[in-house]
Amino acid sequence: MRMNEKEANRLHVLKMIRRHEPVARTDLTRITGLAQATITAIVGDFVRLGYLAEEKAPLATGGRPRIALRLNPDAAYVVGALLAEDGTMLVEVANLRGDTLNRHVSPIAWRQTLDAYVAQMADIVRDGIARSAVDPAAIHSIGLALPALIDSESGIVNWFPAFPPDPIPLAAILQERLGLPVRIEHAADVIARAEHWFGDDLQMQDFSLLMLDLGMGFSRYVDGQVRAGAHGLNSELAHVKMVLDDGPACVCGARGCLTAFASVIGIVTRIAAIRGEARPRIKAVRGLFRDYARAALAGDGDARAIFDQGGRCLGLAVANHINVSDPARVMILVREPLLRELIAPAFDAALAANVLPPFAERVPVAFRAWTDAHSSRGAAALVLERLYRASGG
């Protein structure tokens, strides 16, 4: 469900104050483009809730000091957590501004039953809160990012590759264990949200983000919000098909998906098959990937061909996305530097050959290094957005 106009205005005002503080009410009308009466009502509510503090601040231009508004960072605390594909869970405690107060990474072991797995998640979140200086009673809510097909609005995981293919009310289960509101979202949407909130280019309103690592995630940001589909589900560029007939098997059960060609797991699985080696275990994938990448750089033609094909598939998929959606820009976050280096030539060629010229002139596409810094902050932003949007009544 998209937010209504009132919620969107509240979120916009608080984001703008966060960016420009300290800021006078009169300047907010110019900065936000909203009417004075709207600003007055929204700001009044935030002051009542304690989210905003008023202070006398001198103007940069000199003259009489004016009342300026500032976010009160300690008005609320939230937890942002990220379940990573490599068996770790990152937990961060953040304040109302989205500043990180504490961050901790724990291993999370595979468990046979979902209940046992979620119990472990709850313990890791509790431990993360205990490691911060924040009183657990002061935590407002928890945002959790995970690599699964999710209806964020209802908190239901529709497809979590490691578990049976039934819908799982994961947010409700975790909420009951922790006694706190929990919101869940696909990891790529969370990282896109972090780019929007905390990225170098502050508050980008429209972009597409592709995360490329062991698997692949994709998020579309439109009008300053994550775009969910008509059924509330996140986008899955990973499973667009790259072939008409046969292709490598994908974790989703189909064949020829983009992720089976271009992700780290996809590339490693294909090179291992060519070499007649056993299908690698997940824990061994990253190490094997680096071995294969070095072999490709040293002149191993078979390995090089698999990387080229991965780059070509990715360039084609991104070109198709641009032709369909006309995003303001596309960012591809890559965790393994050698992956970027090895797929770049074929990617560039496929992109150039397949993006329609009017889009090619307008839509920049850039690779960026992916670090953990943004991911948990995005999960914190997920629940902060809720908090910002909700009216004090």
Residue 273 C-beta: closest distance to Zn ion, Å: 17
Q: Give the neighbor-by-neighbor strand order of the sheet with 207-212.
A: 225-226, 216-222, 207-212, 330-334, 365-369
Cβ of residue 317: shortest distance to Zn ion, in angstroms?
Answer: 12
| Contact status: 340 vs Zn ion (CB under 5 A) | no
Whole-number Å distance between alpha carbons of 143 and 89: 13
237 within 8 A of 260, measured Cβ to Cβ:
no
Q: Specify the pairing of strand 77-83 against strand 100-107.
A: unpaired
Complete edge-to-edge strand list for the sheet that includes strand 23-24: 23-24, 66-71, 52-57
CB closer to Zn ion out of 224 and 247:
247
Interacting residue with Zn ion among 212, 257, 339, 383 (CB under 5 A): 257
Single-letter code of the amino acid located at 388: Y
CB of 159: closest distance to Zn ion in angstroms? 11
Q: CA-to-CA distance for 322 and 328, rounded, in angstroms? A: 9
Cα separation, 347 vs 273, in Å, equals: 23
Window of 81-89, 100-108, 256-264, 359-367 that interacts with Zn ion by CB under 5 A: 256-264
Complex with Zn ion: residue 213 or 385, whichever CB lies closer:
213
Q: Which stretch binds Zn ion (CB under 5 A): 76-84, 94-102, 212-220, 255-263?
A: 255-263
Minimum distance of Zn ion from residue 288's CB (angstroms): 21
- Residue 39's DSSP bridge partners are none
In the shown chain, the binding pattern of residues 181 to 220 toward Zn ion, with x for contact by CB under 5 A and - for none, equals: ----------------------------------------
Q: Which residue lies nearer to Zn ion by CB, 53 or 249?
A: 249
Enter the DSSP assignment of 232: S
Distance between the two ends of the chain, CA-based, in angstroms? 21
**Considering beta carbons, is residue 257 or 265 the nearer one to Zn ion?**
257
Is 13 or 317 the residue whose CB approaches Zn ion more closely?
317
- Count of residues touching Zn ion (by CB under 5 A): 5
Contact between 95 and 73 under an 8 Å Cβ cutoff? The reply is yes
Task: Judge if the upstream peptide bond of residue 167 is cis by omega within 30 degrees of 0.
Answer: no
CB nearer Zn ion, residue 161 or residue 287: 161
Which of 24, 249, 252, 272: binder of Zn ion (CB under 5 A)?
252
Six-digit token string for 237: 């560029």
Q: Which of 174, 250, 313, 318 binds Zn ion (CB under 5 A)?
A: 250
Q: Which of residues 94-113 bind Zn ion (CB under 5 A)?
A: none
Of the pair 39, 257, the CB lying nearest Zn ion is at 257
Residue ranges in 220-249 that form contacts with Zn ion under rule CB under 5 A = 239
Cα-atom radius of gyration of the chain, to the nearest Å?
Answer: 23
Among 8, 47, 100, which residue's Cα sits nearest to residue 375? 100
Judged by beta carbon, residue 196 or residue 239, the one nearer Zn ion is: 239
H helical segments located in 258-393: 258-262, 264-274, 282-297, 301-325, 337-354, 357-362, 373-389
Q: How far is the CB of 276 from Zn ion (least distance, A)?
A: 25
User: Which positions touch Zn ion (CB under 5 A)?
Assistant: 239, 250, 252, 254, 257
